[in-house]
Amino acid sequence: MAIAELNVNGRNYKLPTQPTVVVCVDGCEPDYLAQAVATGQMPWLKRTLALGSGLMADCVVPSFTNPNNLSIVTGAPPSVHGICGNYLFDTATGTEVMMNDPKWLRAPTLLAALSDAGQSLAVITAKDKLRKLLGHKMKGICFSSEKADEVSLEENGIEDVLGLVGKPLPSVYSADLSEFVFAAGVKLMQKLKPDVMYLSTTDYVQHKHAPGTDGANAFYRMMDGYLDQLESLGCVIVLTADHGMNAKVALDGTPDVIYLQDWFDDWLGAAKARDFADHRPLCGAPRRARFVCHGLPARRFGCCCGLQSAGAAQGHGSGADP
Ligand SMILES: [Zn+2]
């Protein structure tokens, strides 16, 4: 008899009974959605919020992209899954490295467990750096928009993604990189109807555009259209975020910075704590730990862990991914 429930990292999950799409919108501060809905940019989400559920919750700390994406797909905090940052200092080699190698991952993912249970899986990320972590030990389709022109059956479980989607390869620093994720998700759902799909965008737009601005609203209007198509295809949709985004300056324009050196000096001794990359004194930006989870119906699948804010000066200044 086919199993109806999975246990992964101590949590029980019901297997989906209809195609289920989990979308992690990178840097989706809840105000982006609130303002886009209020000004008529997101008719699908407005309708969905009236019928489904909208919840706010805390992200995991550190509130970066990699730890939170991995918490979403493992249902566990970084102390369990091991992805404790976007970067780490590898003491074995004495170098700072991006934390995107599955060798750092200590816990199985729900995605891999679902594929082991016979579910068909598709994972699409905007940036390639998350692909190997999310797809670790998972059978199925797993590729990034960033390297959609390099896919192979052997590595990604799919061929000719550009032909499937009918769009050119997007620039890595563009809104198009995330739109490609949604466009590919809709095409895959039309052609292959995977049981479970995980879509993860990049926060290029959120770094540049504050909630309610034209640049932000255009992104959320685009996203709303694809989510509407996925619902029309019979999907259950869970919309969540890895972290939020907020201004890094006070209302008077001065940098809103918390300096950590004194705090660490009191704790560990004078000048014991240094930035490992270049041995500068430490400072930190304020963090806010709210996130959004919108589902139809909510939380049918997986867990919701998201957001906070990390980001650039003036809140939305750089294209860097926290
Ligand atoms: Zn992020």
Q: Does residue 138 share a domain with residue 266? A: no
Residue 129 located in a structural domain: yes
What's the token pair of residue 258?
């918390």
What's the gap in Å between 27 CA and the centre of ligand 1? 5
Distance CA 33, CA 27 (A): 11
Residue 317 located in a structural domain: no
Residue 263 located in a structural domain: yes
pLDDT reported for residue 2: 63
pLDDT reported for residue 276: 52
pLDDT reported for residue 50: 94
Per-residue pLDDT of 277-312, as tens digits, reads 444 444 444 333 333 433 322 222 222 322 222 222
Q: Which helix (H) or strand (E) holds 24?
A: strand 20-25
What's the token pair of residue 60?
């995991």
What's the gap in Å between 304 CA and the centre of ligand 1? 14
Q: Does residue 271 share a domain with residue 148? A: no
What's the gap in Å between 241 CA and the centre of ligand 1? 8
Residue 44: CATH number of its domain: 3.40.720.10
Residue 319 located in a structural domain: no
Least reliable range by pLDDT among 11-20, 37-46, 252-261: 252-261
What's the gap in Å between 291 CA and the centre of ligand 1? 12
Q: Does residue 271 share a domain with residue 303? A: no
Q: Does residue 184 share a domain with residue 231? A: yes
Q: Does residue 164 share a domain with residue 24? A: yes
What's the gap in Å between 84 CA and the centre of ligand 1? 13
CA 314 to chain centre: 22
Q: Does residue 110 share a domain with residue 256? A: no
Supply the Cα-derived Rg of the chain in whole angstroms: 20
Distance CA 194, CA 236 (A): 12
Q: Based on the structure, what is the number of domains in the chain?
A: 2
Q: Does residue 171 share a domain with residue 114? A: yes
Q: Residue-wise over 200-232: b if at least 16 C-beta within 10 A, else e?
A: bbbbbbbbbbbbbeeebbebbebbbebbbbbbe
What's the gap in Å between 258 CA and the centre of ligand 1? 21
What's the gap in Å between 311 CA and the centre of ligand 1? 9
What's the gap in Å between 141 CA and the centre of ligand 1? 22
Single pTM value for the model:
0.83
The pLDDT-based confidence of 154 (bands split at 50, 70, 90) is very high
Residues 145, 200 contacting (CB under 8 angstroms): no
Residue 268 located in a structural domain: yes
Per-residue pLDDT of 109-123, as tens digits, reads 999 999 999 999 999
What's the gap in Å between 129 CA and the centre of ligand 1? 12
What's the gap in Å between 48 CA and the centre of ligand 1? 24
Residue 321 located in a structural domain: no
Residue 316 located in a structural domain: no
What's the gap in Å between 219 CA and the centre of ligand 1? 16
Q: Does residue 213 share a domain with residue 166? A: yes
Q: Does residue 33 share a domain with residue 166? A: yes
What's the gap in Å between 68 CA and the centre of ligand 1? 8
Residue 94 belongs to domain spanning: 5-248+298-311
What's the gap in Å between 64 CA and the centre of ligand 1? 5
Q: Does residue 279 share a domain with residue 212? A: no
Residue 170 located in a structural domain: yes
Which of 57, 21, 75 lies closest to 200 in space, CA to CA? 21
Stretch 41-68: mean pLDDT: 92
The pLDDT-based confidence of 275 (bands split at 50, 70, 90) is low
What's the gap in Å between 3 CA and the centre of ligand 1? 34
Q: Does residue 266 share a domain with residue 239? A: no
Transcribe 228-248 into DSSP letters.
HHHHHTT-EEEEEES-B---S
What's the gap in Å between 202 CA and the centre of ligand 1? 7
Stretch 125-139: mean pLDDT: 97
Q: Does residue 108 share a domain with residue 160? A: yes
